[in-house]
Structure 1
């Protein structure tokens, strides 16, 4: 079980009623708290939890409308996302309890100061390298709206500047990261047909591909509901069309693709994970048409070429700059 959930179980008497667990990891906590429900925005975790606990699990960028006696937020990595989530929960809980749980190395002690907006917070427990904080919501905020929290920036592109709309918690919030900037400079001669932007984030790669190749069908996939919401806003801001998919990795992608383009993720929370990208590299050929290709950017130190060579029989480096490389492989 996740150590944060273990800390909650140390205080289980506080969570016996209808409590909402926000950002709940894919563990068995709901099995020990029969009146609790979960709310999450990670499609991978939600798939596991929904498979075990069904309609007790909710998914999306807004909390479910059901009334609850209390709520717990599992602290996310991004502080601006934490602020939004706390406001969204506190708006539902005037006069009731709001809890915050997180790992010490994830910044729980500093983030607990955010609770001062709603009342007087106190630390309830410290164990498993985690802390649990509580506040009675004396000053409930209005329910927040996501669009006003968006950050917008422009990216030079053929046909005019592309407007990117980023939301709290989305990768490289409010700016163009160096890896994506390098990839955007190397999108020449993409195949015609159906292109997937894998790990789309705010949608800058998929939107630029649709701008450059308007006759192509473009799909944008991400595991995070906030990324899909941002990518939707980015497409709308530029008058572009695309298929949005919130799914757990390449297994949720369409079949018979002509191309996959990606700045794939390898971080999750305060931990480093490579599984989603390794799965992409090993299985991408299964989703590609003959002569389809995968093109991606990655930090130079990541050993992705052997995985591409294993799946495709070859891998070529198209460019390198600022500690990043562009790799390409084509299917038979």
Structure 2
């Protein structure tokens, strides 16, 4: 079921009939943000636990250029932009329906972001970001998450960071090892319920 669900949302043009549900994320600081989630996109009708953890513990600074890679309907990037209004936000996803609703959610939450449709880094050739945030589609298999890590340094300046959230026992440990191999460093910033946020710094 998990694999079928993954194949369903990791596609350019979802074939399912469109349904929408409102979801709400309530942060530890008390701030609340609402989103419209569409069927055929990741985390339909709910706030994914891993995404919530990345939102709460993302390391971003004033004026950072932040890429939400594989943004889905926009929960991670939009919430972080609301919490850190001085960042410049970029968002992309392969799923056209997800990106359409990311644009709707950005408008409804009164934030601006540059959004592009495409596979992983393909829409961002020639760009550099201070922070790349990603809740990767681990069910896609090794090739996809390896590409996320392997190509990240090409889109980061010196001092830039790749921040990835994953279940440690569901591929996260392998992802952590790959980040260490590619960047020469990796650290875990938070552990919660088997989920970890891994951060690698480009020197």
Q: What TM-score do you get using the length of structure 1 for normalisation?
A: 0.53
Give the whole-Å Cα distance in 2 for the aligned partners of 1:207 and 1:252: 19
Give the whole-Å Cα distance in 2 for the aligned partners of 1:274 and 1:230: 28
Aligned to 2:135: 263
Aligned to 1:161: 32
**Is the partner of 1:291 in helix, strand or coil?**
coil
Structure 2, unaligned stretches of length 5 or more? 1-9
- CA offset digits 1:194-248 (Å, max 9, x no partner): 1000111110000011112212110111111111012111111211111111111
1:206 equivalent among 74, 77, 82 = 77
Give the whole-Å Cα distance in 2 for the aligned partners of 1:192 and 1:263: 22
Give the whole-Å Cα distance in 1 for the aligned partners of 2:59 and 2:200: 15
Higher relative contact order (CA 8 A, sep 6+): 2
Aligned to 1:238: 109
1:221 equivalent among 92, 102, 118 = 92
Correspondence 1:71-82 to 2 at 5 A:
82=16
Aligned to 1:292: 160
Aligned to 1:174: 45
1:151 equivalent among 2, 8, 21 = 21
Give the whole-Å Cα distance in 1 for the aligned partners of 2:49 and 2:200: 22
Give the whole-Å Cα distance in 2 for the aligned partners of 1:305 and 1:283: 15
Aligned to 2:6: none
Aligned to 1:311: 182
Whether the aligned pair in 1 keeps the contact of 2:62 and 2:84 (CA below 8 Å) is: no
Q: Larger Cα Rg: Structure 1 or Structure 2?
A: 1
The count of corresponding residues between Structure 1 and Structure 2 is 189
Displacement after TM superposition at 1:191 (Å): 6.3
